[in-house]
A and B are shown apart, each in its own frame.
Chain A
């Protein structure tokens, strides 16, 4: 079956990166369209009228929105190679639970680390470390959250790694000192081409954040 795949994305978005990783894992050819979030394209507004957000995957003209929903969709359509979710219902539920945990706990707290100062920033740092310690415990001695192979939960979390330098610099702390196993896991993931090619350089993200703070008067 002919597949026409388009991804509406924004290069620093850790949510967009998840979709890039999933597409790369499956070896899917697609057209990447960069969105200017200050000036959203008519296509984006038409394809995601509810949230008006990226990422949006457009498959044969039909849009799929919300990064983890897109990743599951990719896994179900291109089911002939590199499964991203396990086949056992119990393990699938486990993977979905932890992906949901990451969705609930990481983004807002992490944002506060670079976007706020003083007490609010300190509280966010504390919460961030607590969250990653829980994730570290869940990882245990496994090479990946999925076990022996890279999977859904790894995809949900690894994209935040590109923002680690930003969090550490603004927050003045070392994630490796607090959660060494997470860093070891992240470096393991980065050895995969699908991940390394999908994540921007950490310094580039930092420069972008510095620019963004100035532009939006957040300094």
Chain B
């Protein structure tokens, strides 16, 4: 039976890029549909009526939503180049860290880069303290990831796995946020392993081909969130 795979996504979203990275790693052909998030298509609303968000994978007409759910679906459907380990404990570990990245890291990073700039002008001193707190929090979170990486080339071991793909926000988008806002978070002195990993990660073909252009992304975030939280 001819297979039809559609991906509803957005060029700058790390979440929809995750889905494309996994499909590319497994050599699966798909059609990408770029969504204008300010004017969502009837198809997107039909395929994800609950959240109305991207990404959505549609496989032979059946939709799957939520990027981490989609990654597991992709791994279970197309068995070549597995992205989750076989051992249940290792699988639980990968899931734990993917959840950690999504629930803890992104919001902390955003706060550190742009926190005080959202909303009205805040008193400079208060903003400074909030900024320092946010940077410290990101540092603690990144340290956990640095420790988890240990001596491995990738989070998945010898090859890129689900956790590496989920960590695309750390591996690429974090650098973009840093440059757009002028805030330094992932420094080589503090996080040598994580920096090495990020360099390796963006060189993997299936990943490299799916990274949005850096300059375009920086411009987008500067435009959307302002000049950032860097100490003036």
A positions within 8 Å CB-CB of B: 50, 59, 62, 64-66, 69-70, 72-73, 76-77, 89-90, 92-93, 96-97, 100-101, 134
* B91 close to A93 (CB less than 8 A): no
Chain A residues in 8 Å Cβ range of B144: 50
* A73 close to B88 (CB less than 8 A): yes
Chain B residues in 8 Å Cβ range of A96: 66, 69, 72
Partner of A97, one of B64, B91, B96, B99: B64
Partner of B92, one of A73, A90, A97, A100: A73
Chain B residues in 8 Å Cβ range of A73: 88-89, 91-92
**Which chain B residue lies CB-closest to A59?**
B89
How many pairs of A and B residues are in contact by the CB < 8 Å rule?
Answer: 54
Q: A90-B73, A92-B72 are in contact. List 8 more A-B contacts (CB 8 A).
A: A62-B89, A65-B96, A69-B92, A92-B73, A93-B70, A96-B66, A97-B66, A101-B51
* B73 close to A72 (CB less than 8 A): no
Chain B residues in 8 Å Cβ range of A77: 88
A97-B96 Cα distance, complex, nearest whole Å: 16
* A72 close to B92 (CB less than 8 A): yes
Chain A residues in 8 Å Cβ range of B2: none
Q: In the complex, which of the residues B51, B66, B88, B95 has the most CB atoms of chain A within 10 Å of its own CB atom?
A: B88
What are the interface flags for B125-166 relative to A under an 8 Å C-beta threshold, 1 for contact and 0 otherwise?
000000000000000000010000000000000000000000
* B64 close to A93 (CB less than 8 A): yes
A66-B91 Cα distance, complex, nearest whole Å: 13
Q: Tell me whether chain B's interface is mostly helix, strand or loop, or mixed.
A: helix
**Which chain B residue lies CB-closest to A62?**
B89
What are the interface flags for B45-77 relative to A under an 8 Å C-beta threshold, 1 for contact and 0 otherwise?
000001100000001001011101110110011
A72-B72 Cα distance, complex, nearest whole Å: 12
A100-B73 Cα distance, complex, nearest whole Å: 14
Chain A residues in 8 Å Cβ range of B62: 90
- Distance from A96 Cβ to chain B, minimum over Cβ atoms (Å): 5
Q: Does B100 contact A (CB under 8 A)?
A: yes
Partner of B76, one of A59, A66, A72, A89: A89
Chain B residues in 8 Å Cβ range of A101: 50-51
A190-B100 Cα distance, complex, nearest whole Å: 32
- Distance from A53 Cβ to chain B, minimum over Cβ atoms (Å): 12
* B96 close to A89 (CB less than 8 A): no
* B95 close to A72 (CB less than 8 A): yes
A90-B70 Cα distance, complex, nearest whole Å: 10
- Distance from A27 Cβ to chain B, minimum over Cβ atoms (Å): 18
| 9 A-B interface contacts by CB (under 8 A) | A64-B92, A69-B96, A72-B95, A90-B59, A92-B73, A97-B64, A97-B65, A100-B68, A134-B50
